[in-house]
Amino acid sequence: MWQSVIVAGVVAGSSAYALWTLCPKALRSRVAARLLERWHPLWLNRHLVLAAKQQGGCACDGCDRSAVPQAKVGKPVYQPLVFQPRPKARPLAR
């Protein structure tokens, strides 16, 4: 019986983590703001405050303020792509 209770707790916790991680940031910040208004454990306070302050989107500063250096004439400086070779597959041991 205890094994079923422990498994149910692990599954519920994993489901809650996956739902929280995969939901949009805008929804996550609204839920965190609502949870901050209600009672919650103190260890959860820091995480909820950080989640409530997040903005929706990709959390970047915008394309016009990216870290890619710009040339003085306004044209972007292109950086080459570097592709790493795949490691060679090892034969399976029999």
Instruction: Categorize the per-residue pLDDT at 91 as very low, low, confident or very high, splitting at 50, 70 and 90.
Output: confident
Q: What is the pLDDT of residues 28-53, one digit of tens each?
A: 888 888 888 887 778 888 878 887 77
**Helix and strand numbers, DSSP H then E, in the chain:** 3, 0
pTM score over 0.85: no
Domain chopping of the chain, boundaries: 2-65
Note whether 53 and 29 are within 8 A (CB).
Answer: yes
Q: List pLDDT tens digits, range 65-76.
A: 555 555 556 666
